[in-house]
Chain A
Amino acid sequence: MPSEVIYEPIEDFGLSERSRNKTLFSKIGVVGCGLVGQNIARVASFYGIEVVFIEVNEEKIREAYKNIEKVLDERIEHWGITLGEKRAILSRIKGTLDYHDLKGCDFVIEAIRAVDRGGKIKERKEIFRKIEEVVDPECIIATHSTTIVITELSSDLKYRDRCISLHFFVNHQEARIIEVVRGLYTTDDSYQKVCKFVALINRKIIPVQESAGLVSVRIFVVMLNEACEVLMEGISNIEDVDQLMRIGFGMRLGPFELADKMGLDKVLRWMDNIYNEFGDVRYKPNPYLRRLVRAKHFGVESGEGFYKYDENSRRILTSDRKGC
């Protein structure tokens, strides 16, 4: 009996030519690997997609890897995945400084940190341009921006019909839903492709018209502003407001808990942007929130926001208050 294994390329053995097609979304790119970028990379890789992420220096790349690994470890600890799955997920994610590594991607999303972008459209247009230089004309170029409109971002590109805006929810892992915004130039073809991608990573699509703050952010900031107002007026306290919204309305997290998780600096920037866009006082950041951000109380990440957190991001409970 022959013992050597023979290797063959499978493409020569199909019954038809059709099988030679390249897999769509076998590789995607993420530019900027902060909290959101890490989340997208991790989720895509979990569903078997190869991910290349771009960062500005080696330090940031290491940090991204470390954070992704930390989340995966947490998920193992909470029985979500196995050790083998973690290894497989990490092996599919590659960090790099070089935009040329995005070559061959079918989908690239810009998700640079809120702090780095500071709402500056120019920088992000530059990123879009750099992406376009290396990828194929069919490659979807997306942004993870909620307050900057995609039509404007894509206006300088050569093929702007493939630009789209996606908003992932990174606050908890069960949030399998994505807001998708078509720009003025976005074609049906590009939109359908994005739908396919979203289905691949097991998320649901909510189509939203182009508008600053989309739906989720716009509604959330108003709710948070109102919650802060309630505090300022001395009507209630942080914990009670959260509890009411959580238990009363069946929300997973109350507005303050949610804001702490999202990062108060980010929420504040959202508010400023939406307020600038619409000029409605409903969106004007509440002074209480601004005060917290000035004091660098950004929420879970900085250890303090509306609540205090220990080094494991667990909330430090204040036990002196008990409900009656």
Chain B
Amino acid sequence: MKILVLNCGSSSIKYQLFNMIDRKVIAKGGIEKLGMKGSFLKHTRHDGQTVIFEGEILDHKIGVEYILGVLTSAKHGCLKTLSEIDAVGHRVVHGGERFNSSVLLTDEVLSEVTKCIDIAPLHNPPNLRGIQAMEELIPGIPQVGVFDTAFHQTMEPKAYMYGIPYTLYKKYGIRRYGFHGTSHRYVSKRACDVLGVDYYTQKIITCHLGNGASITAIKNGKSIDTSMGFTPIEGLVMGTRSGDLDVGVVHFIMEKEEIGIKSASTLFNKHAGMLGITGISSDMREIEMAAANGNERATLALEMYNYRVKKYIGSYIAALGGLDILVMTGGIGENADTTREGVLSGLEYLGINIDFEKNKGFRKEGLISSSDSKVKVIVVPTDEELMIALDTEQIVSEGKKL
């Protein structure tokens, strides 16, 4: 079975084509600057050759069409005909309260996803356009939606409700939804596979630390709490997002700086976080370099970053009533040994003992805790695309909901 995984953003489309027999990626790539000047498609062939296709890519439909065109082209493709693609799996950002697992995209499901546009105005529309484009180009192909929020639907009301008037929850669905669900689900399961333990009896904390970052508490295979909320701003300090913030600060700034809702949103989403604190960059490597050169704000930002993650780990251990496995993933979690050290040191009394020697320069899947550590600390590179492909395969072959 061959499955195409699509991740349609507002100005980008990422894709990976999987052969499910060996779960290997046959081809992958992405379109950037979709609908803008200088748009291009970057494709990596099976033999590792990179090809860049330049030209106007106006919208998602044309983008998807080019992707299919490249995949079936004699020169750079790997498929003879489109009919070789058995199913398509889509990343869908927001499933609202309706979807707690991946689902076959029927007309009825699509109309439900459309209803979620209100709470995910930036993300769901491009997701939907990708799905529609695919239906138009390969009519009748089975398509599966894998929701970023679905994994966290197991949270209890006490974890997902905000301390605001209940009517606002009823009226607009304002509550915590959480994101990165596919990643948290994948790495937590994968960690259990690697360690050879039963996923459904473990207390796990997964730290997805990338440009966007979130942390999730998982008990017996269920997400019980996660750091992102109604939007991805909540929680950890991120590359350009502020993370947790006193609401009072928001209106104070809006009043003092005389800015409106849109500017405020840009401020907290794009000017804040590591970029805002350091004034240098949102990139961890550049910040670490600046800190090494004695930049005080870079040092401060790194300390804040680590401290916030540590605080969340502590609170989630309390929420879980203990901890068996701690997973590090995402660009930073997988590669930044100094961040891991900064976050995980001094937690021995909680049973977290890091093998700091092993941790240094560790950039692959495997344990970084010492052999006597009560809590197993493991690095697992995330693979949301594979997870989407696996869900799609299962749903399509069973012909029903997971």
A: which residues have CB within 8 A of B?
1-2, 5-11, 13-16, 19, 21-23, 26, 48, 50, 75, 78-82, 92, 174
* Contact, CB under 8 Å: B259 / A6: no
Docked pose: A7 CA to B54 CA in angstroms: 7
A14-B62, A14-B66, A50-B37 known; A7-B262 Cβ under 8 A: no
The answer to whether A48 touches B52 (Cβ under 8 A) is no
Flag whether B106 is at the interface (Cβ < 8 A). Answer: no
> Known contacts being A79-B267, A80-B266, is A10 close to B65, with CB within 8 Å?
no
B53 touches A8 (CB 8 A): yes
**B residues with CB within 8 A of A:** 35-37, 40-41, 47-58, 62, 65-66, 68-70, 73, 75-76, 137, 257-260, 262-264, 266-267, 270-271
Shortest B83–chain A CB gap in Å is: 13
Contacting pair A10 B259 (CB below 8 A) = no
| Contact present for A6 and B36 (CB under 8 Å) | no
Q: Given A6-B49, A6-B51, A79-B266 in contact, is the A22-B70 Cβ separation under 8 Å?
A: no
Q: Are B54 and A10 in contact (CB under 8 A)?
A: yes
Q: Are A2 and B53 in contact (CB under 8 A)?
A: no
Query: Would you call the interface of chain B mostly helix, strand, loop, or mixed?
Result: mixed
Q: Give the distance in Å from the alpha carbon of A48 to the alpha carbon of B69 in the complex.
A: 26
Which residue of chain B is the closest to A81 with respect to CB atoms? B266
Contact A5 B56 (CB under 8 A): no
Is there contact, CB below 8 Å, between B66 and A8? Answer: no
| Smallest CB-CB A-B distances: 3 pairs | A10-B55, A79-B267, A10-B53
Q: Specify the chain B residue showing the minimal Cβ separation from A174.
A: B260
In whole Å, how far is A28's beta carbon from the nearest beta carbon of chain B? 12
Complex CA distance for A11 and B257, rounded to whole angstroms: 47
Asked if A13 contacts B53 (CB within 8 A), the reply is yes
**Chain A neighbourhood of B50, CB < 8 A:** 5-6
A79 touching B40, Cβ below 8 Å: no
* B37 proximity list for chain A (CB < 8 A): 26, 48, 50, 92
A-B contact pairs, 22 of them (CB 8 A): A1-B47, A1-B49, A6-B52, A7-B51, A7-B54, A8-B53, A8-B54, A11-B55, A13-B69, A13-B73, A14-B62, A14-B65, A14-B66, A14-B69, A15-B137, A19-B62, A19-B66, A23-B56, A48-B35, A48-B36, A79-B271, A81-B266
Interchain CA distance A9-B267 in the complex, whole Å: 38
Interface pair B263/A80, CB less than 8 Å apart: yes
Residues of B within 8 A of A48 (CB): 35-37
Considering the complex, give the chain B residue whose CB is closest to the CB of A19: B62
Main secondary structure of the interface of A (DSSP, over half): loop
Most buried by A among B37, B48, B137, B264: B37
Nearest Cβ distance between residue A243 and chain B, in whole angstroms? 17
Known contacts A78-B259, A81-B266, A13 near B70 by CB under 8 Å: yes
Q: Would you call B53 and A79 a contact (CB within 8 A)?
A: no
Q: Are A8 and B51 in contact (CB under 8 A)?
A: yes
Inter-chain contacts of A23 with B (CB < 8 A) = 56, 58
Known: A78-B263, A79-B267, A82-B271. A19 touches B65 (CB 8 A): yes
Q: Looking across the interface, which residue of chain B has its beta carbon closest to that of A5? A: B50
Scoring A13, A19, A50, A92 by chain B CB atoms within 10 A of each residue's CB, the highest score goes to: A13
CA gap between A79 and B137 in the complex, in Å: 41
Q: With A5-B51, A9-B53 given, name 13 new contacts (CB 8 A).
A: A5-B52, A6-B52, A7-B53, A7-B54, A8-B53, A10-B54, A13-B73, A14-B62, A14-B66, A15-B68, A15-B69, A26-B56, A174-B260
Q: How far is the CA of A2 from the CA of B266 in the complex (A)?
A: 41
For the complex formed, measure the closest distance between the CB of B39 and the CB atoms of chain A, giving whole angstroms: 8
Which of A7, A50, A92 has the largest count of B CB atoms less than 10 A from its CB? A7
Whether B259 lies near A2 (C-beta < 8 A) is no
In the complex the two chains form, what is the Cα distance from A313 to B55 in whole Å? 43
Residue in chain B with minimal CB distance to A75: B263
CA of A249 to CA of B263, assembled, Å: 25
Q: Name A16's closest neighbour in chain B (CB-CB).
A: B65
Bound state CA distance, A19 and B56, in angstroms? 9
Which B residues touch A92, using CB under 8 A? 37
Cβ of B76: which chain A residues have Cβ within 8 Å of it?
Answer: 6, 8
- For residue B267, which residues in chain A have a CB less than 8 angstroms away from its CB? 79
- Report B-chain residues with C-beta under 8 Å of the C-beta of A78: 257-259, 263
Of the candidates A2, A14, A19, A75, the one whose C-beta lies within 8 Å of that of B49 is A2
A1 touches B53 (CB 8 A): no
Beta-carbon nearest neighbor of B69 in chain A: A13
B62 to chain A, nearest CB (A): 5
Residue among B51, B55, B262 with the highest chain A CB neighbour number at 10 A: B55
Bound CA span A7–B51, Å:
6
In the bound complex, CA of A92 to CA of B272 (Å): 26
A22 and B56 contacting across the interface, CB-CB below 8 Å: yes
Q: Please name all residues of chain A whose beta carbon is closer than 8 Å to the beta carbon of B266 when the two chains form the complex.
A: 79-82
CB distance from A92 to the nearest CB of B (A): 7
